[in-house]
């Protein structure tokens, strides 16, 4: 879910062509969940193969990444490791919400309410260990490097960005900014249209870059204060203070500049005590568990292996997969030719 700072960040819209030639560290779990949620039938039933195995993650990863690679965008997928103990409550709450959504999904289908059926069906999405391993295989066959984080994928992606290994972190969540990512790219793996809830309308969705330094300077903040804001509104590691949104949090941290002052103020003003040690939460963002100095190696597309995992193992259309691969290879050859001509 991530921290809610959307109202306050400084962002600018970019096109896919603006991203060509640049490398992005993709928050793998965040992205795969998007595909599992969105790639569904009208009643919310997930995309499946003939054996009843969910394949929305494979479809999204293959077709969306093929398009991005064809446009010259380089990708590195960063996978979460073992979650921090601080995240246990969040994980348990997500499981509870999935169980509640499953009941509501079935009820909506029984009533023929397709709009609510799709909404609740999306909320039942679950990423299993088998899906994670399949996703890694598919990405490897596409020539996309895999990085395995020790804990939070966004923390590792932020380190890659800090070290200049990638241009930005690609994720829908703003947590990467708290982890210190200089640039955050949102909407990279989302299709160009998004349905407006409860309306038969669609809005354009374009990639947008969020600049950490611009966001901090516009609010007169340090990164440490941004982390305090995150703690106030709630992160994956702690519940937020009731009735405190981003704008109120900004006012508070402009006056209370450290965690001790913040805790004291929250207790006096809101009669609220954090349920976890927020000093540990702060430290998790300031000094995240991540590896430094990692090398990233890009490889070529393995067409035969891709056809095997998609078509033979999961019943994808051979013709559509071949067309996508042929188009990708053709674009890569065209870019290579243009690059050689540019050397003259």
What confidence tens digit (pLDDT) does each residue in 85-113 have?
888 888 888 899 999 999 999 999 999 99
Give the C-alpha separation, 235 to 158, whole Å.
Answer: 17
Give span(s): CATH 1.10.150.20, the chain.
221-288
Question: How many Cβ atoms are within 10 Å of 306's Cβ, its own excluded?
Answer: 24
Q: How confident is the model at residue 40 (pLDDT cuts 50, 70, 90)?
A: very high
The SS3 assignment for 297 reads: coil
Tell whether the model's pLDDT for residue 233 goes beyond 50: yes
| Predicted confidence (pLDDT) per residue in 139-195, tens digit | 999 999 999 999 999 999 999 999 999 999 999 999 999 999 999 999 998 866 666
Give span(s): CATH 3.40.50.1010, the chain.
1-219
The SS3 assignment for 288 reads: coil
- For 96, residues 6+ apart whose C-beta sits below 8 A from its C-beta are none
CB 29 within 8 A of CB 79: yes
Position with higher pLDDT, 332 vs 339:
332
Q: What are the residue ranges of helices labelled H in the chain?
A: 16-19, 28-38, 56-70, 88-110, 114-122, 129-141, 153-162, 175-178, 212-219, 223-233, 246-255, 259-270, 278-286, 303-307, 318-343
- For 228, residues 6+ apart whose C-beta sits below 8 A from its C-beta are 249, 253, 256, 257, 258, 259, 262, 282
CB 227 within 8 A of CB 220: no
Give the C-alpha separation, 29 to 17, whole Å.
Answer: 25
Give the C-alpha separation, 170 to 23, whole Å.
Answer: 10
Give the C-alpha separation, 14 to 187, whole Å.
Answer: 10
Give the mean pLDDT of the chain. Answer: 91
Which DSSP symbol is given to 211?
A: E
Predicted TM-score (pTM) of the model is 0.91
Give the C-alpha separation, 168 to 164, whole Å.
Answer: 9
Q: Which segment of 91-100, 200-209, 221-230 scores lowest on mean pLDDT?
A: 200-209
User: For 1-219, which CATH class?
Assistant: alpha beta
Give the C-alpha separation, 162 to 158, whole Å.
Answer: 6
Distances (CA, A) of 340 to 116, 301, 328, 332: 53, 20, 19, 12
Question: How many Cβ atoms are within 10 Å of 15's Cβ, its own excluded?
Answer: 10
| CATH (one of 1.10.150.20, 1.10.8.60, 3.40.50.300, 1.10.3720.10) for 221-288 | 1.10.150.20
Give the C-alpha separation, 25 to 145, whole Å.
Answer: 10
């Amino acid at each position: 879910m991530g921290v809610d700072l959307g109202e306050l960040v400084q962002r600018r819209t970019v096109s896919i062509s603006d991203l060509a030639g640049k490398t992005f560290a993709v928050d793998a779990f965040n992205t795969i969940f998007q595909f599992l949620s969105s790639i569904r039938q009208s009643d919310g039933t997930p995309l499946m193969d003939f054996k009843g195995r969910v394949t929305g993650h494979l479809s999204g990863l293959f077709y969306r990444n093929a398009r991005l690679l064809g446009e010259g965008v380089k990708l590195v997928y960063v996978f979460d490791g073992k979650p921090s103990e601080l995240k246990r409550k969040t994980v348990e709450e997500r499981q509870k919400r999935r169980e509640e959504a499953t009941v509501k999904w079935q009820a909506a289908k029984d009533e023929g309410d397709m709009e609510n059926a799709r909404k609740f069906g999306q909320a039942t999405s679950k990423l299993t260990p088998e899906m994670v391993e399949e996703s890694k295989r598919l990405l490897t066959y596409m020539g996309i490097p895999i990085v395995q984080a020790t804990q939070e994928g966004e923390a590792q992606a932020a380190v890659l960005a800090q070290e200049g290994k990638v241009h930005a972190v690609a994720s829908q969540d703003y947590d990467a900014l708290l982890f210190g990512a200089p640039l955050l790219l949102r909407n990279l793996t989302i299709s160009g249209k998004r349905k407006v809830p409860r309306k038969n309308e669609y809005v354009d969705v374009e990639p947008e870059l969020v600049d950490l330094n611009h966001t901090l300077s516009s609010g007169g903040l340090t990164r440490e204060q941004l982390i305090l804001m995150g703690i106030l509104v709630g992160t994956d590691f702690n519940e937020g203070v009731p009735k405190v949104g981003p704008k109120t949090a900004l006012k508070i941290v402009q006056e209370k500049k450290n965690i001790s002052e913040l805790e004291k103020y929250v207790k006096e003003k809101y009669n609220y005590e954090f349920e976890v040690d927020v000093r540990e939460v702060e430290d998790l963002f300031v000094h995240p568990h991540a590896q430094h100095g990692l090398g990233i190696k890009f490889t070529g597309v393995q067409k035969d292996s891709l056809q095997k995992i998609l078509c033979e193992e999961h019943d994808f259309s051979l013709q559509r997969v071949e067309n996508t691969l042929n188009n990708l290879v053709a674009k890569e050859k065209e870019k290579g030719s243009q690059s050689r001509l540019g050397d003259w």
